[in-house]
Structure 1
Amino acid sequence: MAETRERPLPDHVTTPLLTLITQQALEEDYRSVAQRRSLRPGAEPPRTRMLAVAALLVLGLLVGVAAVQNSRNAAIQDAGRATLVAQIEQSREELSDTQAAIADTTRENRGLTDRLTGLTTTREATTSRLRRLQVATGYLPVTGPGVRIVVEDKPDAGERELVQDADLAKLVDGLWEAGAEAIAINDQRLNPLGAIRNVGTAVHVNTVPLSPPYTVRAVGDTRTLQADLAATTHGAEFFALAQQIGWGVDVDNVGELSLPAARQRRLQHVETGTAEQRSGGGVEEGQP
Structure 2
Amino acid sequence: MPDVEAPPNDRVNTPLLTLITQQSLDEDYLHVAERRAAEPGAKPRPHRLGVVVVAAFGVLVTVAALQTQQGADVRSASRTSLIEQINQGRDNLAELQRRIVRQRELNVGLQSQLDAVTSQQLAAESRVQRLATSTGFEAVTGPGVKITVDDNPDGTLVRDRDLRPAVNGLWEAGAEAIAVNGNRLTARSAIRNSGIAIRVNNRSLSPPYVITAIGNKNTLQADLMQTTSGLWFRSLVEQLGFPWSMDNVDQLTLQAAPARVARLRSAEQGTAAQNQNEHRKEAPE
Q: Same fold (TM over 0.5)?
A: yes
Deviation at 1:69, TM superposition (A): 4.3
Specify the alignment match of 1:241 in structure 2: 236
Specify the alignment match of 1:268 in structure 2: 265
Please tell me whether the aligned partners of residues 181 and 219 of structure 1 are also in contact (alpha carbons under 8 angstroms): yes
Specify the alignment match of 1:130 in structure 2: 128
Q: Distance in 2 between matches of 1:250 and 1:77?
A: 108
- Please say if 1:190 is aligned against 2:193: no
- Please say if 1:167 is aligned against 2:162: yes
Please tell me whether the aligned partners of residues 193 and 267 of structure 1 are also in contact (alpha carbons under 8 angstroms): no
The amino acid of 1:219's aligned partner reads I
Number of aligned residue pairs:
230
Partner of residue 83 from structure 2, selected from 71, 82, 85: 85
The amino acid of 1:273's aligned partner reads Q
Alignment root-mean-square deviation, CA: 3.4
CA shift digits 1:132-177 (9 cap, x unpaired): 222222222222222211122333154xxx4321221111111112
Q: Distance in 1 between matches of 2:110 and 2:163?
A: 54
Deviation at 1:42, TM superposition (A): 10
TM-score (norm 1): 0.67
Q: Distance in 2 between matches of 1:249 and 1:131?
A: 33
Q: Distance in 2 between matches of 1:262 and 1:217?
A: 14
Q: Distance in 2 between matches of 1:156 and 1:63?
A: 141
TM-score (norm 2): 0.67
Q: Distance in 1 between matches of 2:249 and 2:41?
A: 147
Q: Distance in 2 between matches of 1:224 and 1:68?
A: 111
Q: Distance in 1 between matches of 2:177 and 2:203?
A: 18
Q: Percent identity?
A: 44
Specify the alignment match of 2:95 in structure 1: 97
Moved over 4 A (4+): 40-44, 60-70
Counterparts in 2 of 1:228 and 1:63: CA distance versus 1, 3 Å: farther
Deviation at 1:195, TM superposition (A): 0.5
- Please say if 1:206 is aligned against 2:201: yes
Could you tell me which runs of 5 or more consecutive residues in structure 2 were left unpaired when the two chains were aligned. Answer: 1-33, 45-52, 269-274, 281-285
The amino acid of 1:250's aligned partner reads S
Matching of residues 148-167 of structure 1 within 5 Å: 148-158=146-156, 162-167=157-162
CA shift digits 1:223-242 (9 cap, x unpaired): 33222222222223222333
Specify the alignment match of 2:283 in structure 1: none
Deviation at 1:179, TM superposition (A): 1.8
> Which region of structure 1 is more displaced relative to structure 2, 190-199 or 245-254?
245-254
Counterparts in 2 of 1:270 and 1:86: CA distance versus 1, 3 Å: closer
Could you tell me which runs of 5 or more consecutive residues in structure 1 were left unpaired when the two chains were aligned. Answer: 1-33, 45-53, 278-288
Specify the alignment match of 2:20 in structure 1: none
Partner of residue 251 from structure 2, selected from 232, 249, 256: 256
Specify the alignment match of 2:140 in structure 1: 142
Q: Distance in 2 between matches of 1:76 and 1:108?
A: 47
CA shift digits 1:173-230 (9 cap, x unpaired): 1111222121110111111222112234432212222222110011223233222222
Counterparts in 2 of 1:156 and 1:274: CA distance versus 1, 3 Å: farther
Specify the alignment match of 2:119 in structure 1: 121
